[in-house]
Amino acid sequence: MKNAIAPQKRDKSLVPLSREHHFGLLFCWKIRQGLKNGTDLELMRAYVRYFWENILKEHCDEEEWILERLLKKDDTVRARLAEEHQLLHSIVDLIASGSPMNRELFKVLERDLNDHIRWEERELFPYVQQMANPDELELTGKLLAHKHDPRQDNFTPEFWTVKAQA
């Protein structure tokens, strides 16, 4: 198989965040399915609120905390991460606050979050692993594991599994 990209070896300190990226990608899939199935946008708004409050907000906070510990203050990667998190938060706020509901807002959130997670996995985490002091990375991982509870997405109804009734 030519030109195949070998999977990146993830430092164990960053594994909890990588696992949560699976939840984020699944969230994106659920939004796509909801739109495809014609799900009521108010139900999808409730799901976006739920996901932000129960999974995504704390995940973003943890990532920023890690980069504060591991990278220099003027590292542009830290700035990019914070800017992208703020953009995602702004989109969630538009959806959650009752902004006129339209399918495009959900599409923007899904696309931007998907792209952000892919960037973190393919570029950010390898960069952090390369730049961080290994002892500091290990300590940060232990601190993260200590304060990190595995999160679960238990939202109901599971609108992504059924088509809306006409």
pTM greater than 0.75 (yes/no) = yes
Q: Which amino acid is at 125?
A: F
pLDDT in tens, 116-144: 999 999 999 999 999 999 999 999 888 88
Q: CA 10, CA 5: separation in Å to the nearest integer? A: 15
CATH number of the domain where residue 135 is located: 1.20.120
Our count of domains for the chain comes to 1
pLDDT of 1 strictly over 50: no
Give phi and psi for 12, each to the nearest 5. Answer: -60, -25
Q: Is 101 left (phi over 0), alpha (psi -120 to 50) or beta?
A: beta
Evaluate the CA torsion angle 48, 53, 59, 63 in order and state its sign. positive
Is residue 166 in some structural domain? Answer: no
Q: Is residue 26 part of a domain?
A: yes
User: For residue 74, what are the domain limits?
Assistant: 15-147
